[in-house]
Chains A and B, each alone.
Chain A
């Protein structure tokens, strides 16, 4: 069942230096019980895309009229971008959609106990008493693997370790029973052994709650281990989209290929590390045509003039590359 449909999302910011396009014609779907990985480097627009789903972008954000984000719940269909008042936005801000952030220390209020923060949002979203909310919170803390949950409930964020804080963050995000969970680099600040624990926990939770998850990260290894589908972003565009096996094993777009070649692999220590040439262009100087042509090893003159469309290369595998599309139709 399709839970979330993002269609032709284009988002611009008005800044002192001019209008910046942060997200450009992005479309994807998330089904219930499915993990979509959103991969890209800094400045690729992955976090901005995720924030659009909750309308959390700052006031200078402009959504084009064609942009559409639809959340299909059991009893209603929500047109997210048309929500205006804070009250109506609650459904996507903690109600049916929850978010986990990268830095759990910065996401908890430092002077309020973990428990009070969990109870506050529960009471806001559900018609329950504080006492019921406390019971739900303690139970949730217990389920994400926090030992001595009743004691932790009364502690402050600084009293917990990094991994524990991220677990508490997950518990808080899940306590309202969201249908869609957005996880923005949830394991980046954690050590590898703790990262492995958090990834396992999240996988168990998808299965248990049948949620849809959007997992944002720059780490393709983490994506390979968690996601069902993956969307690769570059300069605000999705340039490749497909099942995680297809995209990682047979990447089509030169950028995805470059990204995979640049990762040091443990099973072949002699392999040369090949960086993707050049630097990500500034958002103020967006390249014409294909946004990747300035760094692309196979770029042709046409790439700087024509914007490539997403082309289907396989049943569930699309990519936006003129050269690859031509070679395919020639073959």
Chain B
């Protein structure tokens, strides 16, 4: 990669303090721990993991919607270069314009008491990006058309729309400030399959047209395989593997990635997806296992896995994996 990544993180950690069971006792929940990640400009970057893996927290940390506990995070879109940890308040407003979020549930994300036009226009008004109502209206119409919304719909209220149309409204709202970086957090998870494909195609088209970089957070590996060009896999707050999509799906290296892939139910009734069914469940993040966080469920765990946490290391072109035994396992 010659170009600088739009987002880069070094040793990024987000911890939450929880009040424990006993009076005055406190627990630390390490939602994201020691993440090193570069998101190339113009990429469709997938972030996958099960619930509790910290993928949403990481996405929100990049949007500066959460306090970063430790480490570095930078945003560089070619126009501005921001240190996200120390970003001063007066720059934050500009950053909000450049980095946006598309939510999961299009039913909960839209205010039922605002018209579609007002919902899409609100970010412009709050950020003071337009100077007149005419300018706002024009910008709203422009983005609505790009998101394939019927302009007659702008005067209606969200309840009149189906799930797919609502998600197009949320996308228009997120893109109205002309952001460079968009976090899409499970943005198709609540939609039916027939509609899901439509929204995925729209996201892809908008990326080309507007030159966007996406961080696409999802638990659905088959969706990620189709739409993303890079993928990072998280488990209990750690990155366990990152690679270009094709590489990751053709030759997964981390045992967790392999297990995730083999757990996807195949459409072929005779392909029983044999392989590696994982035992047990993801441990509680307030009390994570020692060493490699995955060793409690890993079929290949040996002694070292229980005591030493593996680092994310290069295993090939742009393919990083955090596993003590990936080389042995790749040969086997």
Residues of A within 8 A of B (CB): 41-42, 161-164, 191-197, 199-200, 218-222, 224-225, 244-245, 248, 258-260, 262-266, 269, 271, 273-276, 279-280
Closest to A192 in B: B263
Contact B222–A265 (Cβ < 8 Å): yes
Beyond A220-B267, A264-B226, A269-B249, is A193–B194 a contact (Cβ under 8 Å)? Answer: no
How far apart are B162's CB and chain A's nearest CB, in angstroms?
Answer: 4
- Residues from chain A with Cβ under 8 Å of B196 in the complex: 262, 275
Contact B267–A42 (Cβ < 8 Å): no
Contact A192–B281 (Cβ < 8 Å): no
B28 within 8 Å of A (CB atoms): no
Contact A162–B51 (Cβ < 8 Å): yes
Beyond A193-B278, A263-B222, is A275–B197 a contact (Cβ under 8 Å)? Answer: yes
- Residues from chain B with Cβ under 8 Å of A220 in the complex: 193, 267
Closest to B165 in A: A279
A275 to B188, CA, bound (A): 13
Contact residues of B between 232 and 285, Cβ < 8 Å to A: 245-246, 249, 259-261, 263-270, 272-273, 277-279, 281-282
- Residues from chain B with Cβ under 8 Å of A264 in the complex: 197, 200, 222-223, 225-227
Contact of A193 among B50, B222, B267 (CB under 8 A): B50
B11 within 8 Å of A (CB atoms): no
- Residues from chain A with Cβ under 8 Å of B193 in the complex: 41, 218, 220, 259, 262-263
Contact A269–B226 (Cβ < 8 Å): yes
B164 within 8 Å of A (CB atoms): yes
- Residues from chain B with Cβ under 8 Å of A275 in the complex: 194-198, 201
A245 to B268, CA, bound (A): 8
Main secondary structure of the interface of A (DSSP, over half): helix
- Residues from chain A with Cβ under 8 Å of B165 in the complex: 279
Beyond A218-B192, A248-B267, A259-B194, is A280–B219 a contact (Cβ under 8 Å)? Answer: no
Contact A260–B192 (Cβ < 8 Å): no
How far apart are B200's CB and chain A's nearest CB, in angstroms?
Answer: 6
- Residues from chain B with Cβ under 8 Å of A41 in the complex: 192-194
Number of B residues near A (Cβ < 8 Å) is 43
How far apart are A272's CB and chain B's nearest CB, in angstroms?
Answer: 8
Contact of A269 among B246, B277, B282 (CB under 8 A): B246
- Residues from chain B with Cβ under 8 Å of A164 in the complex: 281
B221 within 8 Å of A (CB atoms): yes
Contact of A221 among B195, B266, B281 (CB under 8 A): B266
- Residues from chain A with Cβ under 8 Å of B269 in the complex: 224-225, 244-245, 248
B289 within 8 Å of A (CB atoms): no
Contact B263–A42 (Cβ < 8 Å): no
B291 within 8 Å of A (CB atoms): no
Contact A266–B249 (Cβ < 8 Å): yes
A280 to B164, CA, bound (A): 10
B163 within 8 Å of A (CB atoms): yes
Other A-B pairs beyond A42-B163, A245-B269, 16, CB < 8 Å? A161-B281, A191-B219, A191-B282, A193-B259, A193-B260, A196-B263, A221-B266, A222-B265, A225-B266, A244-B269, A248-B268, A265-B267, A266-B261, A269-B245, A275-B198, A279-B162
Closest to B268 in A: A224
- Residues from chain A with Cβ under 8 Å of B226 in the complex: 264, 269, 271, 273
How far apart are A135's CB and chain B's nearest CB, in angstroms?
Answer: 27
Closest to B198 in A: A275
Closest to A145 in B: B279
Beyond A225-B265, A225-B273, is A192–B260 a contact (Cβ under 8 Å)? Answer: yes
Closest to B222 in A: A264
A194 to B273, CA, bound (A): 14
- Residues from chain A with Cβ under 8 Å of B51 in the complex: 162, 191
- The digit string for B88-126, where 1 denotes a CB below 8 A from any CB of A, is 000000000000000000000000000000000000000
Contact B225–A224 (Cβ < 8 Å): no
A279 to B277, CA, bound (A): 37
A sample of 5 cross-chain residue pairs with beta-carbon separation below 8 angstroms, ordered by A number, consists of A191-B51, A224-B269, A264-B225, A274-B197, A275-B198
- Residues from chain B with Cβ under 8 Å of A276 in the complex: 194-195, 197
How far apart are A287's CB and chain B's nearest CB, in angstroms?
Answer: 15
How far apart are A186's CB and chain B's nearest CB, in angstroms?
Answer: 13
Contact A195–B263 (Cβ < 8 Å): yes
- The digit string for B183-203, where 1 denotes a CB below 8 A from any CB of A, is 000000000111111101100
Beyond A193-B278, A196-B277, is A266–B50 a contact (Cβ under 8 Å)? Answer: no
A196 to B50, CA, bound (A): 13
Give the one of B226, B249, B265 with max A CB within 10 A: B265
